Amino acid sequence: MLQLRQDIFVVEQACVYRDLDGLDAESWHMRCVSGEQVLAYQRCLPPGLSYPESSLGRIAVPASARGTGLGRELVQRGIDFNRAQWPGAGIAIGAQAYLRGFYAGLGFVAAGEPYLEDGIFHTHMQLKAG
pLDDT band at residue 13 under the 50/70/90 scheme = very low
Measure the CA–CA gap between 63 and 104, rounded to whole angstroms: 21
The phi, psi pair for 97, rounded to 5°, reads -55, -35
Task: Report whether 102 contacts 96 (CB < 8 A).
Answer: no
Q: Work out how many domains the chain is built from and give that number.
A: 1
> Cα–Cα distances in Å, from 105 out to 4, 49, 99, 123?
24, 25, 10, 15
Strand-pairing partners, residue 120, are 117
Q: Domain with 28 in it: what CATH number?
A: 3.40.630.30
For the purposes of burial, counting CB atoms within 10 Å of the CB of 110, is it exposed (0-12), middle (13-18) or buried (19 or more)?
A: middle
Domain range for residue 29? 2-127
- pLDDT tens by residue, 25-67: 889 999 999 998 889 999 999 999 999 999 999 899 988 988 9
What's the pLDDT at 117? 85
